[in-house]
Amino acid sequence: MERCRLVFSGSGGQGLITAAIILAEAAVIYEGLNAVQAQSYGAAARGGVTRSDIIIDDTEINFPKVTQPNILVCLTQEAYDQSFGIIRPGGLLLTDSALVRTKRKADARQRSLPLYRSVQEQIGKTIVLNICMLGALQALTQVVGLDSLLKVISSRVPSQFFELNKKALDLGVELAQNQW
Amino acid sequence: MERCRLVFSGSGGQGLITAAIILAEAAVIYEGLNAVQAQSYGAAARGGVTRSDIIIDDTEINFPKVTQPNILVCLTQEAYDQSFGIIRPGGLLLTDSALVRTKRKADARQRSLPLYRSVQEQIGKTIVLNICMLGALQALTQVVGLDSLLKVISSRVPSQFFELNKKALDLGVELAQNQW
């Protein structure tokens, strides 16, 4: 496989680190791949942009920091403004259409999906925005199987919240498929 | 401050990644420091040793992988056998006395605490072993304030589980202070 380098960026509390860990675990436990996953905290964690890096490959990986992701997710305008320039040419730049309104020119497939609004309207709990994002990402990239994500989610989430999370994941898939 | 390099190692399901994230957030949000935190998954995540690296400093940090930690925590024998050799000379090597029974010679302060047994006997829920470990680590190293850890825990844990986690944190502090 081609090495997959991902960066999730947004604001603290959006659950992007959790999403990164779920993705890494899905790749490793259920797809037999290797993954490294890292976050730096700094001024960012004190109110600004949060960023989590993931690398997935079928060979060994040493350096966990991603300089040029082929998949970049931005869930706030500030995260977008700060990160859009690092996308690898031809990569995928996924944003939320309500949270990132002003786009720049980038040598990438830019996909803007109404994740936040759909989660709010159809599920009513914006805490699962991160899981909805993972669903969309899965449908757009097939970086891991949907079933692998679901298995990790079911092992991490208290059972009474599993259906909520599954609904969010499926909603993300649906939003991506409708726009693709 | 001296740069603080930590490695938490053990088995999947012990909550070591969560512990690492709590520690990094405590350092950054409540202590005004910088932190990077990374984990590699591989064969490890398929049943063997889990490892999470944290670096805390008051200056900027680039490389998130720790080669020689000054603080190493091992919560399984396998993790210990695999990692004890990387401890920085003079560092602190914290283990659980029930989960790591066979020790090797290392140029480090080796502290073995009955974290697991105490959590089991006094709290009854071994799921908070990771939080108990953080309490012990805090008391042994003062790498962050106890209050900072508590604030992060309270922001991450559902309110009905806060007391359980606080009890585990305090238990860890107590165990460390009794042995120090």
Q: Please say whether the beta carbons of A158 and A149 come within 8 A.
A: no
What pLDDT is stored for residue A157 in this prediction?
Answer: 86
Give the H or E element holding residue B166. helix B162-179
Burial (Cβ within 10 Å: 0-12, 13-18, ≥19) of residue B11 = middle
DSSP string, B31-42: H--EEEEEEEES
Percent of residues, chain A, with pLDDT higher than 70: 94
> At residue B42, does pLDDT exceed 90?
no
Output the CA–CA distances (angstroms, integers) from residue B27 to A40, B20, B153, B170, in the order listed. Answer: 12, 11, 13, 19
What pLDDT is stored for residue A142 in this prediction?
Answer: 93
State whether residue B104 sits within 8 Å of chain A by CB.
no
Size of interface A-B (CB pairs under 8 A): 72
pLDDT confidence band for B80 (50 / 70 / 90) = very high
CB contacts, 8 Å: A47 with chain B: none
Segment B153-175 mean pLDDT: 94
State whether residue A164 sits within 8 Å of chain B by CB.
no
Best mutation site among A7, A40, A49 for testing chain B: the one with the most B CBs within 10 Å? A40
Segment B21-40 mean pLDDT: 89
Least confident window among A36-45, A52-61, A124-133, B126-135: A36-45
Residue B68 CA to its chain's centroid (Å)? 15
Q: Is the ipTM of this complex over 0.95?
A: no
Percent of residues, chain B, with pLDDT higher than 70: 94
B41·A60 Cβ contact <8 A: no
A61·B38 Cβ contact <8 A: no
B96 vs B40, which has greater pLDDT? B96
Q: How far is A9 from chain B (nearest CA, A)?
A: 15
Q: In the predicted model, what is the mean pLDDT of chain A?
A: 90
> At residue B45, does pLDDT exceed 80?
no
A36·B38 Cβ contact <8 A: yes
Least confident window among A8-22, A123-137, A158-172, B121-135: A8-22
> At residue B175, does pLDDT exceed 70?
yes
> At residue A99, does pLDDT exceed 60?
yes
What pLDDT is stored for residue A148 in this prediction?
Answer: 95
pLDDT confidence band for B43 (50 / 70 / 90) = low
Strands A34-41 and A49-57 turn out to be antiparallel
> At residue B144, does pLDDT exceed 70?
yes
State whether residue B24 sits within 8 Å of chain A by CB.
yes
State whether residue B40 sits within 8 Å of chain A by CB.
yes
Segment A16-28 mean pLDDT: 90
Cα gap A104→B94, rounded to integer Å: 49
Cα gap A141→A153, rounded to integer Å: 19
CB contacts, 8 Å: A39 with chain B: 21, 24, 36-38
State whether residue A66 sits within 8 Å of chain B by CB.
no
A64·B61 Cβ contact <8 A: no
Q: How far is B178 from chain A (nearest CA, A)?
A: 33
Cα gap A7→A85, rounded to integer Å: 12
State whether residue A82 sits within 8 Å of chain B by CB.
no
Segment A10-21 mean pLDDT: 87
* Token pair in block for residue A100: 């990132």
Output the CA–CA distances (angstroms, integers) from residue B136 to A33, A117, B83, B175, in the order listed. Answer: 35, 43, 20, 7
State whether residue A40 sits within 8 Å of chain B by CB.
yes
> At residue B115, does pLDDT exceed 70?
yes
What pLDDT is stored for residue A29 in this prediction?
Answer: 84
State whether residue B42 sits within 8 Å of chain A by CB.
yes
Least confident window among A13-27, B49-63, B109-123, B155-169: B49-63
State whether residue A18 sits within 8 Å of chain B by CB.
no
Cα gap B164→B175, rounded to integer Å: 17
A35·B46 Cβ contact <8 A: no
